[in-house]
A and B are shown apart, each in its own frame.
Chain A
Amino acid sequence: MCAAGTGLGDSEESNEDGDPTVRDSRTVFSSLLEDDTEELYDNAPCGYLSTLMDGEIAKVNDTLLGWLGIRREELVGVRRFADLLTGGGKLYHETHYAPMLRMHGQVRELALDLVAADGRRLPVLVTAKVKTGQEGQPLLVRITVFDARERRAYERELLAAKRKAEEERARLERLTGTLQRTLLPDALPVIDGVDLAAHYHVASSDQVGGDFYDVFPLGGDRWGFFLGDVCGKGPEAAVLTSLTRYALRAAAVNDADPVAVLTTLNTVMLHQRRPGAPRFCTVIFGVLEPDRDGLTVTLAGGGHPPPLVLRRDGEVSPLPTPGGQLVGVLPGARFTAATTRLRPGDVLVLYTDGLTEARRADGTMLEEEGLAEAAVAMTGENADGVVGSLVRLLTDWSRSPSDDTAILAIGNPVTAAAALQEAGCST
């Protein structure tokens, strides 16, 4: 009636010692329980050894002897624990293991390599504890040794994976850097009668920034320039930046009127749009016309913060293009133009909002008002000087700017002739 004997005490009959199957399984069970401790010590799945306080091996189990391929009499009373270690391990034993054992009475999970009789290295984890007598005096050290080959192999794999990830990251950063450079001019052109300087900061080294600028010839001593910011970051922003740059340059060849150029860019971007995922840029496009005693700047704004005009005499004012709308979203977007004339020593500054949105640790933002205020002290400097001062202002405000920032300064240089003329006028 019963499938008795498959388990212990699972039926009435099985309680009777007369059942031979029950007796057998109980014999097996009790033989497991009566496993003598000496046998367990010697054949445990880890290595055991005990040493005297000076490290001399007093006792060692068969498991460890098997791993090392060494006979008991070659170790006990003959060698010390440190003798089983590699050269580096011996040093570590002296500098860390032994002092830790003395101070704390134990060491836990130290990764060491034992050297077997045939010279093989056995990666192991060592835990040791000092056994003390009744008065607390140290008597001997009990050491367990765990086979760590699997674990060490796993750690090596982890290290290899980490190294690979670091290499990939470096590769990505190189790629991003290369892509970034294709989105910016190699160098600003050298233009007679125009003083140019720029600054570009990308907040993250593995993401292409969304800011852009350029200065390029239009022919007939006229020059086009632009500075802007596409929404978003990364590859999509890079695609949009690329489109924007080439559309602006191509449009300007046809008709350099700033409002016409931005209108063309808007049309091109609208053709590229995907429903439900608006992508836009804000940008200032302008034309420079240097002449004998000055520099005429005509520009149009597409939803971008107005540039600042730094007059040599200390005046700072924005050059607004009121109502100009961002580019790429609205059919029939409105753009308005503004004109100014730069006399020698005047500088026009275009920037992206990474500058005005610089935040101090307490959360306050520089903002357009703060920028205009700080710029007063920069009047009279050339384009390079103004950009340098603005970068210092930016880093003063935020130690590690979290936003991309582009700055383009266009100045009318103070020539020797102009300086002379001025000196003549003032006497």
Chain B
Amino acid sequence: MLDLTKATDGHVHTIALTGELDHASTPRLHEELARLRLSAGDRLVLDLAELSFCDSSGLTALLAAHEISLGAGAALELATPPALLVRILRTTGLTEVFTVRDADRDRARAEVRSRR
């Protein structure tokens, strides 16, 4: 099961992934990525906070997103990847290839702290 939610706000394109990115569901993310119209200077954000599983097939979609962004002169960000994906990125030597942002999680934590 994978839910994809798309949003475009000016130059920022966001795809939020909820569920499992595996052999069965990855083609749908590939389709969404192929449909994107990215311009130079745009930002593509893959929101991974609700991603519960990712295997090697899923990784091909993230690599495709990287390739598409690079080709268009856009910047790709992986937002709040789960620990499982962070481990995969580390094992496959891709930590430096992707820009990983945990800003939202940090902000949420900061807010929780400031309320105390």
Contact = CB atoms under 8 A, between A and B. Distances in A.
B60 A232 contact: yes
A311 interface: no
Contacts of B55: 403
B56 A276 contact: no
B18 to A, nearest CB: 18
B34 A276 contact: yes
Contacts of B68: 276
B59 to A, nearest CB: 7
Contacts of B33: 276
Nearest to B95: A323
Contacts of A231: 56-57, 59-60
Interface in A259-306: 275-280, 282, 302-305
A278 B60 contact: yes
Interface string A323-336: 11110011001100
Interface string B39-57: 0000000000000000111
A232 B58 CA distance: 9
B93 A326 contact: yes
A360 interface: no
B30 interface: yes
Nearest to A328: B63
Interface residue range, chain A = 20 to 34
Nearest to B33: A276
Interface residue range, chain B = 10 to 19
Contacts of B67: 275-276, 278
A238 to B, nearest CB: 14
A329 B63 contact: yes
Given A276-B30, A276-B67, A326 B60 contact: no
Given A231-B57, A232-B57, A329-B63, A277 B92 contact: no
B78 interface: no
Contact of A232 (B23, B63, B64): B23
Interface in A184-227: 210
A403 B23 CA distance: 11
Given A210-B56, A276-B67, A282 B91 contact: yes
Interface string A380-411: 00000000000000000000000100000000
B90 to A, nearest CB: 10
A25 to B, nearest CB: 62
B72 interface: no
A334 B93 contact: yes
A420 B81 CA distance: 55
Contacts of B97: 325, 330
6 contacts: A276-B64, A278-B64, A278-B67, A282-B56, A282-B92, A325-B94
Interface of B: 23, 30, 33-34, 55-57, 59-60, 63-64, 67-68, 91-94, 97
